[in-house]
Amino acid sequence: MPGLEDLYREIILDHYRSPRNRGTLDTPPAVMAQGHNPLCGDEIQVYLLVDGDTVADVKVSGQGCSISQSSASMMTQAIRGKSVADAHRILDAFRRMMGLEVADAPAGEEPAKLGDLEALQGVVKFPVRIKCATLAWSTLSQAMENAGA
């Protein structure tokens, strides 16, 4: 019977082999931010189109290890079509899962659902890979800032 770790490995490999929302968007109206993880050689470009209070579209290009690329793919699925506020909540929830310093969610607020992204929680046990898992997210954070969102 397959365990949780096998299921998680399957999810990560699936997103690595068939990345979602892969590509680029025209800038402007979209903004772009680039991230690089020299420890592993991962490179990511995040294209973000914010329309009012909504993440209207997001695409990712780049290359790197399975952790970095699958995390980017899952990230696009998690935030695409969400409100900017929800995207920030998901970003915080993911960073918290990865053991990074993040302000606590306001009392009484439901924690954001991470869905497939929970497959990456095992990465916390391997500090050298945390940068791989969080690269897309720090790049997204920069893109949000570039978009004024």
Shortest distance in whole angstroms from residue 16 CB to Zn ion: 11
User: What tokens does 70 get?
Assistant: 């699958």
φ and ψ of 28, to 5 deg: -70, 170
Selected from 40, 56, 114, 124, the binder of Zn ion by CB under 5 A is: 40
CA–CA dist 44, 62 (Å, integer): 4
φ and ψ of 109, to 5 deg: -85, 135
Q: Do 66 and 18 contact (CB within 8 A), yes or no? A: no
Contact flags string 12-31 toward Zn ion, x per CB under 5 A: --------------------
Enumerate residues 124-143 that contact Zn ion by CB under 5 A: 132
Selected from 56, 65, 102, 114, the binder of Zn ion by CB under 5 A is: 65
Residues engaged in binding Zn ion (CB under 5 A): 40, 42, 65, 68, 132
